[in-house]
Amino acid sequence: MSKNNSEYLIERNDNVYEVVIGLEVHAQVTSDSKLFSSSSTKFGAEPNTQVSLVDAAFPGMLPVINEFCVKQAIKTGIGLKAKINNKSVFDRKNYFYADLPQGYQISQYKYPIVGEGNVILDMPEGQKQVGIERLHLEQDAGKSIHDVDPSNTLVDLNRSGVALMEIVSKPDLRSPDEVNAYIKKLRSIMRYLGTCDGNMQEGSLRADVNVSVRIKGSTNLGTRCEIKNVNSIKFMQMAIIYEANRQVDLIEEGVEIDQETRLFDTKKNETRSMRSKEDAHDYRYFPDPDLLPLEITDEFIDLLKSEIPELPDDKKKRFIDEFKVSPYEATILVSDIDTAKYFEEVVAKMGKNRDMKLAVNWITGELFAVLNNKNIEIAQSPISAKNLAKLINLIKNGTISGKIAKTIFELMLDGDIDPQIIVEEKGLKQESDPKALEALIDKIINDNREKAIEYKQGKEKLFGFFVGQAMKASGGKANPQLINEILKKKL
Amino acid sequence: MTEITSLSLFELIKNIKEKKISSNEAAKSFVDRSEKSKKLNVYVTENFENCLKLSKEFDNNPNFDLKLPGIPIAVKDLFCTNEVRTTAGSNILNNFVPSYESTVTKNIWKEGGILLGKLNCDEFAMGSSNETSFFGNVQNPIAKDLVPGGSSGGSSAALAANLTPVTIGTDTGGSIRQPASFTGTVGLKPTYGSCSRYGIVAFASSLDQAGPMSKDVKDSSILLEVISSFDKKDSTSIDFKRNNYSSELTRNIKGLKIGIPKEYRVDGMPDEIEKLWEKGIEYAKDCGAEIIDISLPHTSYALPTYYIVAPAEASSNLARYDGVKYGLRSSGKSLIDMYEKTRSEGFGEEVKRRIMIGTYVLSSGYYDAYYLKAQKVRQLIKQDFDQAYNKVDAILTPSTPSSAFKIGEKSNDPVSMYLNDIFTVPVNLAGLPGISIPAGVDKNNYPLGLQIIGKPFDEQTVLNIAYSMEEKINYKNNITDWWMK
């Protein structure tokens, strides 16, 4: 495996294999109520407290489409630069399971609401475009709980009927790193749009991973295996690595790969066969006669387009153009909508004499470190954008040194304190009066005559010693630039 | 004075409004007669006590502005009724008590109707003789051991026996019109989308439609006015301008063009049906209508199409009866075992047969050949009617290819049973309104019906033609109350 880029190759004997990956991402639509009923979708409620007669499939109950969920799906389609279909159809996917009250899932089979689109990934070696095959709306099932009662399975229907978007990629992904970038980008786009919160812990984003391998350079697709319902990027990557190697081993042994559905065992780090192609369900899809086809006019699509906020790719371009940040920095800043918002607020509050370099460094350096340590999101940042901007301005206008700024930053964490107040209360203002500094430096040179002579004789590294002494004598407040200038003159 | 129970709905309402009869007197009369008519087996669940109580409450605080002021009404047991057991004629819902009300029945109670009880029907409305009900056969009041038709067999029998002034049924392939024809009563299947399906136990969603059943045409117009409404809870409900069907009812049909489809002269049709139809044509002419020969070329495909589409939808609609959430649950060693036992014990033979057919026609590899093709043929059948309606205002056909048959006569021959629906299913496939009115008797004095099919949403014309012909036909049921003797 090459280290300098995101390529993932498997070498066995004289053969080099590449892995071909396609993802079916199930993203929970951000919506207060379910796809076909008015029940709440709030996470974490007591079991079976958010279940309507429709969700529990009582006799004679009928689904009624939630228009908001349709809008969310269209917006997501627009975010994926995809074709929005003027007509789509809800189908029934028939199968029996205890947590599927209707005995069928309402989904979209032949005619999805969103057609082909694409997503741009920023990889170390450059940009990569990943094709989107389709996006369709469907209902989530309930939850079977097997480990509470020793002899019974319990069913929680709170999730039954919650709206999901299934986003199917083309088999364009080639490595675990690309999968990581793809999921993050998808999540980022949907969070910008407010159509899915992307919360993987709460199950808002899960994926079925299709994996096949082939000799690098070949254009034929190998037989694929589908790994069902993986709920974290890390597990997706682990599952892909295991599965790709398993398939390569089989091919090298001359064994044919069975097209099958597999499960990833996170404890053992391996995939296991769930069912073979022969045992595949016959879902007997047919158009749901309880629902009319969804007809969406171009005017409606245009209206929703006008509501689309600036998306990560555009924002990145603007940050580069307007704020002169590097593409690398821009990628980091736009990856999460809250980071982008925070950055833009800092920029706004810095005012006319803004310093982008300082702003980027402070956010991606000091602030990110704190967020990482505390394991919190930037939306919960202990330091507001306004106060961080003030701190940066204090550095920029010479009131404090960068070193003092770090001390002040630590103090600010305790309740988002205004850095100006800290500077005043602690007397941390930088000493920038040349006369005072000259007097201070004169004294240091006097106290260290021998070293001064050595310096003049060519021992240039002693310059640092004098700077250090000056800073120490000033209690760290001396303006380092001025110290440098005066020392050069005096020595 | 005539007995209360033999009054038409219109007369009963009039008497109640004129305070000649109280709601409680009416309720008592129907309850008393029902108590004496248990042999007919029309009720699955009686609501007699509650009906008497509610009728008293109505009398204490009457509202005569309502369309059904204090009128006791029994309904088919396919409509979910709040706090009253709803079985759909099936063992699998034997213990099911809904906590909600169907829109159609809600409309009836809102206009002052009072629930008398829940009427027997074929299991999940699958049948043409009421013989598939878990709750036993229903006797046709016309003669002993005669089927009342189906699936709304309890409804037609209760009506013909004067156990309810009017009733409602559901019609997926003829389940209102065929039993009406078998019992000498009137049954109207409205345009698909007229009456909400919310709260009606589903059989085949794209075909199911509730409608009024009554002793005469005027009563059907009154009841249709009450039950037809746009409902947001049913996505297939249609928001169209509904007439005041009863006040706009007229016998003046002069100049209306009525089509006679030649394809309805099917092979082996009994002579008496042919003669009835001829007579019907003469009546229509007498009423001032113009008779025009038309062609509905795809008629012969209607029955096979229906028996693909309806079971396909049913196989999916009935998947929810799995023993997990409500209804019957048999114990099993595992989830699959529980499913199998519950559904084996909960469903009857005909329901199982249709689930099997439906599952088959939807399965991979067969979908295109059956379901998809059937949907295409369904479009052609619709187009047949569309083209016919360029030339005519309504269509006249027999309601059924035969009169009522004996209990057990066809129960071992499903295909011969399915042939009962031959004249009614095209109407469901095309989503049109159709009414069956009594028009004569066969050699055994069993009633025979004629069907009038209308344009979409043109229930008014259908009712007007029926109303006009009804007067000319002047049919009277000869009910001897044999079951009380």
Question: Quick check: A141 pLDDT over 50?
Answer: yes
CB B171 within 8 A of CB B200: no
Question: At a CB cut-off of 8 Å and minimum separation 6, what does A259 contact?
Answer: A223, A224, A225, A276, A277
Residues A320-359: tens digit of each pLDDT: 999 999 999 999 999 999 999 999 999 999 998 899 999 9
Q: Which of A145-159, B133-147, B303-317, B368-382 has the lowest mean pLDDT?
A: A145-159
Question: At a CB cut-off of 8 Å and minimum separation 6, what does A483 contact?
Answer: A437, A441, A467, A470, A471
Predicted local distance difference test score (pLDDT) of residue A1:
40
Distance, CA of A351 to CA of A354 (rounded, Å): 6
**Using omega within 30 degrees of 0 as the cis cutoff, is the peptide bond preceding B151 cis?**
yes
Per-domain residue ranges of chain B: 4-259+390-484
- Of A57, A64, A285, nearest to B320 by CB-CB distance is A57
B92 reaches A (C-beta below 8 A): no
CB B97 within 8 A of CB B80: no
Residues B119-151: tens digit of each pLDDT: 999 999 999 999 999 999 999 999 999 999 999
Helix/strand/coil for A433:
coil
Rounded-to-10 torsion of CA A47, A50, A54, A59: 50
Residues B53-94: tens digit of each pLDDT: 999 999 999 999 999 999 999 999 999 999 999 999 999 999
Closest Cα to residue A21, out of A151, A161, A190, A210? A210
Distance, CA of A166 to CA of B239 (rounded, Å): 33
Average pLDDT of chain A, as a whole number: 93
Residue A355 vs residues A44, A94, A349, A351, A420: alpha-carbon distances, Å: 44, 60, 11, 9, 18
- Of A59, A104, A290, nearest to B236 by CB-CB distance is A290
CB B437 within 8 A of CB B186: yes
% helix, strand, coil for chain B, step of 5 = 40, 15, 45
Residue ranges of alpha helices (H) inside A413-474 are: 419-426, 434-447, 449-456, 462-473
Q: Which residues pair with B305 in a beta bridge?
A: none
Distance, CA of B295 to CA of B381 (rounded, Å): 11
B contact test, residue of A109, A154, A284 with most B CBs within 10 A = A284
Q: At what angle do helices A434-447 and A462-473 cross, to 10 degrees?
A: 120
Predicted local distance difference test score (pLDDT) of residue A94:
97
CB A435 within 8 A of CB A468: no
* Confidence label for A424 from pLDDT (cuts 50, 70 and 90): confident
Task: Give the percent of chain A with pLDDT over 70.
Answer: 99
Predicted local distance difference test score (pLDDT) of residue B278:
97
Average pLDDT (A37-45) is 94
Is A57 in Cβ contact with B325 (below 8 Å)? yes
Question: Quick check: B268 pLDDT over 60?
Answer: yes
Average pLDDT (B467-478) is 96
Listing DSSP states for A99-137 in one string gives: T-TTSEEEE--SS-SB--EEEEEEETTEEEEEEEEEEEE
Average pLDDT (A38-47) is 94
Predicted local distance difference test score (pLDDT) of residue A451:
85
Q: At what angle do helices B9-17 and B23-35 cross, to 10 degrees?
A: 140
With CA atoms as reference, the chain B residue closest to A294 would be B235
Paired sense of beta strands B72-76 and B114-119, if any: parallel
Predicted local distance difference test score (pLDDT) of residue A278:
74
Is A103 in Cβ contact with B312 (below 8 Å)? no
Helix/strand/coil for B440:
strand
Question: Quick check: A427 pLDDT over 80?
Answer: no
Helix/strand/coil for A5:
coil
Residue A402 vs residues A346, A393, A419, B434: alpha-carbon distances, Å: 17, 11, 13, 87
Question: At a CB cut-off of 8 Å and minimum separation 6, what does A166 contact?
Answer: A24, A25, A26, A27, A107, A135, A136, A137, A138
- Catalytic annotation, pick one of B37, B76, B315, B411: B76
What amino acid is encoded at B180 in this protein?
Answer: A
With CA atoms as reference, the chain B residue closest to A286 would be B362
| Angle of CA points A68, B202, B449, to nearest 5° | 130
| Angle of CA points B394, B399, B402, to nearest 5° | 155
Helix/strand/coil for A331:
helix
Question: Quick check: B2 pLDDT over 80?
Answer: no
Helix/strand/coil for A212:
strand
What amino acid is encoded at A321 in this protein?
Answer: D
Listing DSSP states for A286-317 in one string gives: EE-TTSPPEE--HHHHHHHHTTPPPPHHHHHH
Residues A242-287: tens digit of each pLDDT: 999 999 999 999 999 999 999 999 999 999 998 887 777 899 999 9
CB A79 within 8 A of CB A187: no
Burial pattern B75-114, b for ≥16 Cβ within 10 A else e, equals: bbbbbbbbebbbbbbbbbbeebebebbbbbbbbbbebbbb
> What φ, ψ does residue A374 adopt, rounded to 5°?
-85, -5
Q: What is the ipTM, given to two decimal places?
A: 0.96
Element (H, E) at A211: strand A205-215
Listing DSSP states for B216-284 in one string gives: SHHHHHHHHHHH----TTSTT--------TTTT--S--TT-EEEEEGGGS-TT--HHHHHHHHHHHHHH
With CA atoms as reference, the chain B residue closest to A290 would be B205
What amino acid is encoded at B63 in this protein?
Answer: N
Helix/strand/coil for B381:
helix
- The two tokens of residue A351 are 């005012």
Residue B254 vs residues B247, B274, B360: alpha-carbon distances, Å: 19, 25, 49
Structural domains of chain A sorted by starting position, each given as residue range(s) with its CATH number in brackets: 9-305 (no CATH), 312-426 (no CATH), 434-490 (1.10.10.410)
CB B264 within 8 A of CB B388: no
CB B92 within 8 A of CB B23: no
Predicted local distance difference test score (pLDDT) of residue B303:
96
- The two tokens of residue A13 are 């004997």
Has B76 been annotated as catalytic? yes
With CA atoms as reference, the chain B residue closest to A92 would be B316
Distance, CA of B195 to CA of B279 (rounded, Å): 32
Distance, CA of A244 to CA of A18 (rounded, Å): 9
Predicted local distance difference test score (pLDDT) of residue A470:
83
* Confidence label for A392 from pLDDT (cuts 50, 70 and 90): very high
Residues B448-464: tens digit of each pLDDT: 999 999 999 999 999 99
Predicted local distance difference test score (pLDDT) of residue A481:
80
Has B295 been annotated as catalytic? no
Is B335 in Cβ contact with A286 (below 8 Å)? no
Distance, CA of B210 to CA of A60 (rounded, Å): 13
Residue A153 vs residues A14, A146, A349, B421, B423: alpha-carbon distances, Å: 51, 5, 56, 44, 49
Question: Quick check: A484 pLDDT over 90?
Answer: no
Predicted local distance difference test score (pLDDT) of residue A431:
73
Distance, CA of B28 to CA of B244 (rounded, Å): 30
- Select the CATH number that applies to the domain covering B4-259+390-484 from these four: 3.20.20.100, 1.10.3720.10, 3.90.1300.10, 3.30.420.40: 3.90.1300.10
Distance, CA of A173 to CA of A156 (rounded, Å): 35
Residue B93 vs residues A50, A386, B154, B264, B315: alpha-carbon distances, Å: 24, 65, 17, 38, 16
- The two tokens of residue A116 are 């082909």
Residues of B in contact with A154 (CB under 8 A): none
- The whole-angstrom distance between residue B151's C-alpha and the CA centroid of its chain comes to 7
**Sign, Cα dihedral of A311, A314, A316, A321:** negative
Element (H, E) at B479: none
* Confidence label for A301 from pLDDT (cuts 50, 70 and 90): very high
Closest Cα to residue A94, out of A371, A285, A265, A332? A285
| Separation in Å, CA of B171 to nearest CA in chain A | 15
Is A62 in Cβ contact with B235 (below 8 Å)? yes
B15 reaches A (C-beta below 8 A): no
Listing DSSP states for B102-136 in one string gives: -HHHHHHHHTT-EEEEEE--SGGG--SSSTT-TT-
Predicted local distance difference test score (pLDDT) of residue A4:
52
A contact test, residue of B320, B333, B376 with most A CBs within 10 A = B320
Is A59 in Cβ contact with B235 (below 8 Å)? no
- Of A56, A60, A96, nearest to B201 by CB-CB distance is A60
Distance, CA of B128 to CA of B400 (rounded, Å): 11
Place of tokens 């008797």: B441
Listing DSSP states for A145-209 in one string gives: E-SSSSS--EEE-TTTT-EEEEEEEPS-B-SHHHHHHHHHHHHHHHHHHTS----TTTTSEEEEE
Distance, CA of A275 to CA of A259 (rounded, Å): 9
Has B151 been annotated as catalytic? yes
